[in-house]
Amino acid sequence: MTDVPRPGQLVTHDELLGRPEVVAPALLGCWVVTERPEGTTAVRLTEVEAYSGAGDDPAAHSHRGPTPRSAVMFGPPGHLYVYFSYGMHWCANVVVGAEGEGSAVLLRAGEVVLGEELARGRRPASAVHRDLARGPARLTAALGIGPDDRDLLLLDPRSPVRLHRGTAPVAVTAGPRVGITHAAELPWRFTETGAPTVSAFRAGVRRRPPAG
DNA sequence: TCAATGATCCCCT
DNA sequence: GGGGATCATTGAA
């Protein structure tokens, strides 16, 4: 028996109710654990973003009502919303708030705390420890989360992807969200204060300059 | 600094 | 029912 770090108890349904910008910072320090045939990996969350489905957040995928892609967001809290981004990446969210609301928390970055060797095998060989889960697509890659995990209940002890409480309180810093073009001014990005695994800050970069 | 890359969704027929 | 802009990004240069 080796001395392996262990997560806390599973996050509960009730802990995920409430406004996303209130629930999101409480998820910092929590562990996302994935159990696969090849082994277990876990990431301790250091960066998340809140997206509100209450109709006040044009950056939320749920903003225009349920679609085939975003239907999971309108389900009960605690489920995994996975979407495909930029033609090559998968990003993971935790559904929060009441059923039918459409709010979610994007898992932006974390630190690999279990199964580093396995995580490293899912990432480019050049990645150093700090960068293994630094960024939303890197985080899903390191954990091996993909389209097959859509809608999984993270609060179920039998689920292969779960959300556990952390082992210690976390100091939280709030700031503007990253990489979006709408409502980027809302301070709904939450990071663990001083964490080296927080992703690079690139707010609302345009892919092409405005015409003229 | 910028190319890669494709599902999704709006809007028009 | 179909075309085309959009996009909650990353990695290499």
Residues by CB within 7 Å of nucleic chain C, which ones? A 49, 51, 59-62, 73, 81, 83, 85-89, 91, 93, 104, 106, 123-124, 126-127, 131, 135-139, 141, 177-182, 199, 202, 205, 207
Q: Flag whether A212 is in a domain.
A: no
With CA of A57 and C1' of each nucleotide, the nearest comes out as: C8
- From the list A157, A160, A186, the residue with the least C-alpha distance to A174 is A186
Hey, what are A82's tokens?
Answer: 């996975």
A125: which residues sit within 8 A by CB, 6+ positions away? none
A147: which residues sit within 8 A by CB, 6+ positions away? A82, A84, A90
Q: Flag whether A111 is in a domain.
A: yes
Q: Flag whether A99 is in a domain.
A: yes
φ/ψ of A14, rounded to 5, equals -65, -30
With CA of A182 and C1' of each nucleotide, the nearest comes out as: C8
Q: Flag whether A154 is in a domain.
A: yes
CATH number, residue A166? 3.10.300.10
Distance A149 CA to C7 C1' (A): 21
Q: Flag whether A207 is in a domain.
A: no
Q: Is the CB of A70 under 7 A from strand B?
A: yes
Distance of CA A123 to the CA centre of its chain: 17
Distance A2 CA to B6 C1' (A): 44
Q: Flag whether A162 is in a domain.
A: yes
Distance of CA A90 to the CA centre of its chain: 11
Confidence of residue A211 (pLDDT cuts 50, 70, 90): very low
Q: Flag whether A43 is in a domain.
A: yes
Per-residue model confidence (pLDDT) at position A92 = 97
Q: What is the overall mean pLDDT for chain A? A: 90
Instruction: Render the burial of A74-96: b for 16+ CB within 10 Å, e for the rest.
Output: bbbbbbbbbbeeeeeebbbbbbb
Distance A190 CA to B3 C1' (A): 30
Per-residue pLDDT for A207 more than 70? no
Per-residue model confidence (pLDDT) at position A201 = 60
With CA of A108 and C1' of each nucleotide, the nearest comes out as: C8
**Separation of alpha carbons A149 and A140, rounded Å:** 11
Least confidently predicted of A48-52, A119-123, A168-172, A196-200: A196-200
- Write the pLDDT tens digit of every residue in A6-28: 889 999 999 999 999 999 999 99
List the single protein residue with the shortest CA to C1' distance from C9. Answer: A86
DSSP bridge pairs for A21: none
Distance A140 CA to B7 C1' (A): 18
Domains of chain A: total:
1
Interior angle at CA A152, CA A150 and CA A155, nearest 5: 150
Distance A85 CA to C3 C1' (A): 20
Confidence of residue A202 (pLDDT cuts 50, 70, 90): low
Domain residue limits at A98: 13-172
Q: Flag whether A150 is in a domain.
A: yes
